Amino acid sequence: MIEATSPLLTSVGVAHGFGGRRGGVSQGAYASANASLASGDDPAAVAENRRRFAVALGAVPEALCTLRQVHGTAVHVAEAPSQHRVVGDAVVSAVPGLILAVTTADCVPVLVVDADARCAAAIHAGWRSATSGIIAASLEALCRLGATPGRCLAVIGPCIRAAGYEVDQPVRDAALAADPSAGYFFASRDVAERWQFDLAGFVARQLDQSGVKEVDDTGLDTLNQSSNYFSYRRSRQRGEAGYGVQLSGIVVPG
């Protein structure tokens, strides 16, 4: 159920975890720990998968906060649990015990905490939200809760990596518009106007530019680890009718 954790967050006693596709009850294309409330999966199975994820974090399942993600830059400040009822691509909170979580199937999940200020964030960073400023918006929201960027610890979770992430010119243009030095994160392909994009590296750069100095990257690849992770791109390459998503979550410290 929990495929990875970070020594950086563990070192300050913050419960967190990056989920994967194993350890759940879903069947078929969604086997087995699918967490999507918007897929064609059995809602009861998804609810059980989400409950198991919360329990694996050592938290109360009813404390789970997730979003209806739209690849934008809206940041939700959570005061109470809410699953899929709020639109946004990042959730922040200073309410102890809340589980802040995002779902991904190739996009970059980012978990952030300021343990001294006792506030945290979970961020869903696909290329659209990353190039539009979701990282900066999330850090600004955390600061309004009392965080200091220089004290924050951040972890980049399992996501698609550059070797398998081919993008077109508009994606590169969007990244360069956000950061003129972002060309470093693109490697040209033999095919014209196609690029391999290091999205995780780009996100790490955005965290650094927002003042976060300690960033851990799990280095895990959703595309190439089919037994461990769901992957949207892999499902499309295989012509599969459906695909699941995994949860990444952090418990707000008390």
The number of distinct structural domains making up the chain is 1
Query: Residue 107 and residue 109: Cα distance in Å, rounded?
Result: 7
pLDDT digits (tens, 9 = 90+) for 122-135: 999 999 999 999 99
Kindly state whether residue 253 falls inside one of the protein's structural domains: no
Q: Provide the pLDDT confidence category of residue 241 given band limits of 50, 70 and 90.
A: confident
Q: For position 104, which CATH number holds? A: 3.60.140.10
Kindly state whether residue 6 falls inside one of the protein's structural domains: yes
Kindly state whether residue 49 falls inside one of the protein's structural domains: no
**Average pLDDT of every residue of the chain:** 97
**β-pairing verdict for 194-197 and 246-251:** unpaired
Query: Residue 220 and residue 165: Cα distance in Å, rounded?
Result: 14
Q: Provide the pLDDT confidence category of residue 106 given band limits of 50, 70 and 90.
A: very high
Give SS3 for 137: helix
Which residue is associated with the tokens 């009718």?
A: 241
Kindly state whether residue 240 falls inside one of the protein's structural domains: no
Kindly state whether residue 237 falls inside one of the protein's structural domains: no
Kindly state whether residue 43 falls inside one of the protein's structural domains: no
Percent of the chain with pLDDT over 90: 96
Question: Do residues 91 and 250 touch, judged by C-beta distance below 8 A?
Answer: no
Q: Provide the pLDDT confidence category of residue 192 given band limits of 50, 70 and 90.
A: confident
What DSSP element (H or E) covers 55?
A: helix 43-56
Whether the pLDDT of residue 39 is over 80: the answer is: yes
Q: What residue numbers bound the domain in which 105 lies?
A: 2-15+65-224
CA atoms within a 13 Å half-sphere pointing along the CA-CB vector of 251: 23
pLDDT digits (tens, 9 = 90+) for 46-85: 999 999 999 999 999 999 999 999 999 999 999 999 999 9
pLDDT digits (tens, 9 = 90+) for 133-145: 999 999 999 999 9
Provide the pLDDT for residue 191: 74
Kindly state whether residue 238 falls inside one of the protein's structural domains: no
Kindly state whether residue 51 falls inside one of the protein's structural domains: no
